[in-house]
A and B are shown apart, each in its own frame.
Chain A
Amino acid sequence: MEEVDTILIHALKQVGTEVSEEIDSVKQFSSELIVKAVVRCIQVIDPGLGSGLPTSLPPGMSARFRVGMSLAQACQDIGYKGEIGYQTFLYSNEPEIRSLLMCLVEKLPRESAETSDQPTGKSLVLQRAIAAAVQAQLAVPWLPTNCRLPLHVETQSPEALHSFHVLPLSLSHFTKGPGKKQLKETDYQRDTLPPVTAQLSHHASLMVSILEQHTAELSAAQEWDNEWNSQGLLSCLTPQKYRSRKLTRLRKRIKEQLCSAELPSPESAFGGPHSSSDLCELLQVFKGSAPSDHILTKSTHFSHTQKFTFEQESASVTSSIPSVHQSESDIQHRQQEELASLQQQFQQLCSNVDQLTADMKHMSVTNAQVLNELKHKELGNSEKEDKMQVKKKTIDLLPDADNNLLKLQALVEASTKRLVNLASQWEKRRAPLMDEHRRLKEICSNRDLESSRKLSEIKSLHDKICVSTVDARKKEDIYKQLVTELENLPRDVSRSAYTQRILEIVSNIKKQKEEITKILADTKELQKEINHLTGKLDRTFAVTDELVFKDAKKDESVRKSYKYLAALHENCNQLIQTIEETGTILREIRDLEEQIETENGNKTVANLERILDDYKSIRQENSALAAKVREG
């Protein structure tokens, strides 16, 4: 019973009952403690029911009686099936109290049900950590500014903050086999490139930049992974090929976009030659080696004009320098004049340029047209020359027409023969080639099928990998969380001791069961033997009886012996009966002894004495009340 008691006491302590350390079994519970524990349990199980109950026994006897009654009622309301009344609390006996407390503890709401509702995963652990940090900070007392110690600097006095400012870092990356092109670069990296921590002068931005660089790399790798898995694998290309194809596609698209944006306003681009030339440079980069394009020719126009204006300006600046010596007004006057003339000149030149560009355009167009025409004409010329040659040959053959005709016929025949021959040969060759072709085609399609199957396999594998990684992550999270929870759990109940004890009990029960079956078997055997013996006895007796009875008619002494035999049989029967009776009586005695023990356990005498005392005190109270009534 000790284990049960420790579990009960632990549960009661958890509920909030103060049980002193010395008490380690239900036997030692006083009435006060019992009432306190029961009331606390009822309050936890059903707050509405428990709110009306007092937590301690009042001094007056009749009041105690009432408290006991109400507690018994409450226990029955909760669902206690056993016998219960005021006497259970006031005149306690151990087994009753134990069964009551066990029932109450079983009815206590389980905490585990609450914990399972809480969200699981990383966030919970993080939230707990945050809560712990906040709690720690709240525990630090506030101090005025001038009293702060370096200890509080972290949480109370904010020091100067650095802004999140990212600067590019120059890093040497791991390359696969340095090629010849990178020789200069490697030299630079070996001798000149400072270590990463020395590249930026500002401390905070260095850290920020390193972290940023790393995050950028990571996210780029992730992006590529995603894209490769979703699209790259399906395209059946190697990663490098896929990349280069994507690059060209992108370039093409950018080019198209830029062209379409550029085309609608070729005239307005004159206003801002700078920006358009920038664009052209950009385009040039994208176009690479495709030179003769509309935009590119335009850009050369622009850059020419631009160059021209710049030269003009610089010339005007240089020419204005010598005039510094002359008087101011003069200078101003002259400058204005000069400016005007220059502007005029400039405008004229601009218009000249415009005209020239227009001319040039026109010219180039005409030039192209003329070139086209020329080509056409050349083509026509060569055709005509061919025709003329054929005609010339025919004319040469005309004089000896018959001969030539025969020759020609022979030639034609020979060539038809050759043709037939060739055709038959070709047929011969064709069949195996066609077969080969068909075979190869089949292999090809098989391979295609296989590759697509493998591709789908790879995809499914990849999906599986993803799922398992997610699973593994989740499980790791849960594991961590559970570990922290385990660490946070109170250690006062040794679970292993419980389980060990339970296992022991189970093994004990097993042993007992074995013994019981053994005893049962023994008993059965004994019973069998007894039955056997009784049967044998009966039969022997009947036979002997008959034999002796036969002889008894003849002989007197035998008659006497027959009488003895009958008496012996009767006496033996009586003896057996007596033995059986003794057994039942012994059993009864044992039962009675047990009963006496339980009665002794119930502290009947002490309780009777207490009841007597309480009866006396009630009588005293009653008489005092009666006296008061009489006085009143």
Chain B
Amino acid sequence: MSWVCKMELSESVQRGLQSLADASSFDQSGFQALVDVSFRSLLSARGDPEVLDQPELKQVDQILLKQTHTAAATFILEAVKHNADRSTISSSLEELTFSAERIEIFYCTYQTHKKELGRLLASIGRRTPRINDVSWRLQYHVKNGQVDKVNEPFYLMSLNTENEGSSEDINFTCTMEQLQDLVGKLKDAAKSVEKASQM
């Protein structure tokens, strides 16, 4: 399901895609090769400067080729960012004078690489550490330097958290009320998430 009706494209991207749609500058094999190359170059971890040296793309003007490649890469990233579905992509490409056959080729390639690209895009950003495990210990506070009789129980908590692959322990102590408060808040949070899932 897609909830964005239309992707907005800048003028340079539109022009690049228009030249990609133009059969006089890119024939069928060239089109296929460029689409493949665009996806591949986005997915490969090391940027390969020789990526455009394809036999099918030899006869295309190098400047035009680079511009088109940039436009195609931008369009792909935008489409993945918007989680575009078939109708969105085809309407966008139709506006840029793509033929139905070329839209089909593009969409097939997009479909095969979409998930991986989405994962890559999702890996950009920050995340709070997540709690993997909890261990606790109940202690009893009998007295201290100032007060002779305290007689209060308290908890020693240790949260095992994980963030970006490395784990870390967070230690703290809390009284019973504080612990109850914490548990209540966690329950509240869980309930809110559940409520959000039932729209």
Interfacial chain B residues near A194, Cβ < 8 Å: 47, 49
Q: Please report whether the interface of chain B is mostly helix, strand, loop or mixed according to DSSP.
A: mixed
Contacting pair B199 A127 (CB below 8 A): yes
Q: From residue B16, how far is it (CB to closest CB) to chain A in Å?
A: 8
Does A426 make an interface contact (CB < 8 A)?
Answer: no
Contacting pair A189 B198 (CB below 8 A): no
Cβ-neighbour of A161 out of B45, B62, B164 (below 8 A): B164
- Which residues of B50-96 are within 8 A (CB) of A? 51-52, 61-63, 66-67, 69-70, 73-74, 77-78, 81
- Which residues of B137-153 are within 8 A (CB) of A? none
Assign chain B's interface to a size class: 35 or more
- Which residues of A118-171 are within 8 A (CB) of B? 122, 125-132, 134-135, 138, 144-145, 154, 157-164, 171
Give 1 or 0 for each of A187-228: 1 = CB within 8 Å of chain B CB.
001110111111111011011101101100110010000000
Contacting pair A217 B10 (CB below 8 A): yes
Contacting pair A161 B3 (CB below 8 A): no
Contacting pair A210 B12 (CB below 8 A): no
Does B135 make an interface contact (CB < 8 A)?
Answer: no
Cβ-neighbour of B47 out of A138, A164, A206, A218 (below 8 A): A206
Contacting pair A159 B164 (CB below 8 A): yes
Given A122-B5, A131-B196, decide whether A189 and B66 contact each other with a Cβ distance below 8 A: yes
Does A621 make an interface contact (CB < 8 A)?
Answer: no
Contacting pair B193 A217 (CB below 8 A): no
Given A129-B3, A130-B196, decide whether A159 and B120 contact each other with a Cβ distance below 8 A: no
Interfacial chain B residues near A131, Cβ < 8 Å: 196-199
Does B11 make an interface contact (CB < 8 A)?
Answer: yes
Does A536 make an interface contact (CB < 8 A)?
Answer: no
Residue of B nearest to A207 (CB): B77
Does A484 make an interface contact (CB < 8 A)?
Answer: yes
Interfacial chain B residues near A210, Cβ < 8 Å: 70, 73-74, 77
Contacting pair B70 A171 (CB below 8 A): yes
Contacting pair A161 B126 (CB below 8 A): yes
Given A211-B77, A218-B10, decide whether A160 and B165 contact each other with a Cβ distance below 8 A: yes
Contacting pair A173 B12 (CB below 8 A): yes
Contacting pair A203 B120 (CB below 8 A): yes
A484 to B1, CA, bound (A): 8
Does B187 make an interface contact (CB < 8 A)?
Answer: no
Residue of B nearest to A216 (CB): B10
Does B156 make an interface contact (CB < 8 A)?
Answer: no
Residue of A nearest to B165 (CB): A160
A190 to B61, CA, bound (A): 8
Assign chain A's interface to a size class: 35 or more
Interfacial chain B residues near A186, Cβ < 8 Å: 63
Cβ-neighbour of A174 out of B4, B67, B132 (below 8 A): B67
A191 to B66, CA, bound (A): 11
A217 to B11, CA, bound (A): 8
Does A416 make an interface contact (CB < 8 A)?
Answer: no
Cβ-neighbour of A164 out of B6, B49, B125 (below 8 A): B125
Does A24 make an interface contact (CB < 8 A)?
Answer: no
Q: Please report whether the interface of chain A is mostly helix, strand, loop or mixed according to DSSP.
A: helix
Given A161-B125, A197-B73, A214-B78, decide whether A172 and B199 contact each other with a Cβ distance below 8 A: no
Does A477 make an interface contact (CB < 8 A)?
Answer: yes
Q: From residue A204, how far is it (CB to closest CB) to chain B in Å?
A: 5
Interfacial chain B residues near A476, Cβ < 8 Å: 5-6
- Which residues of A342-359 are within 8 A (CB) of B? none
Interfacial chain A residues near B120, Cβ < 8 Å: 203-204, 207
Contacting pair B163 A214 (CB below 8 A): no
Give 1 or 0 for each of B185-199: 1 = CB within 8 Å of chain A CB.
000000001101111
Does B113 make an interface contact (CB < 8 A)?
Answer: no
Contacting pair A138 B197 (CB below 8 A): yes
Q: From residue A540, how far is it (CB to closest CB) to chain B in Å?
A: 87
A sample of 30 inter-chain contacts (CB < 8 A) reads: A126-B3, A129-B1, A131-B198, A132-B1, A138-B197, A158-B163, A158-B165, A161-B125, A161-B164, A162-B123, A162-B124, A190-B63, A193-B66, A194-B49, A195-B41, A196-B69, A197-B41, A197-B42, A197-B44, A197-B69, A203-B120, A204-B120, A207-B42, A207-B120, A207-B124, A211-B74, A211-B78, A217-B10, A217-B11, A473-B6
- Additional pairs, 20, CB under 8 Å, beyond known A172-B63, A197-B47, A214-B77: A122-B4, A131-B198, A138-B194, A145-B132, A145-B162, A158-B165, A160-B165, A161-B164, A162-B123, A163-B125, A197-B51, A198-B41, A198-B47, A198-B48, A199-B47, A208-B124, A211-B74, A214-B9, A214-B13, A480-B5
B interface, CB within 8 angstroms of A: 1, 3-6, 8-13, 15-16, 41-42, 44-49, 51-52, 61-63, 66-67, 69-70, 73-74, 77-78, 81, 119-127, 130, 132-133, 162-165, 193-194, 196-199
A interface, CB within 8 angstroms of B: 122, 125-132, 134-135, 138, 144-145, 154, 157-164, 171-174, 186, 189-191, 193-201, 203-204, 206-208, 210-211, 213-214, 217-218, 221, 473, 476-477, 480, 484
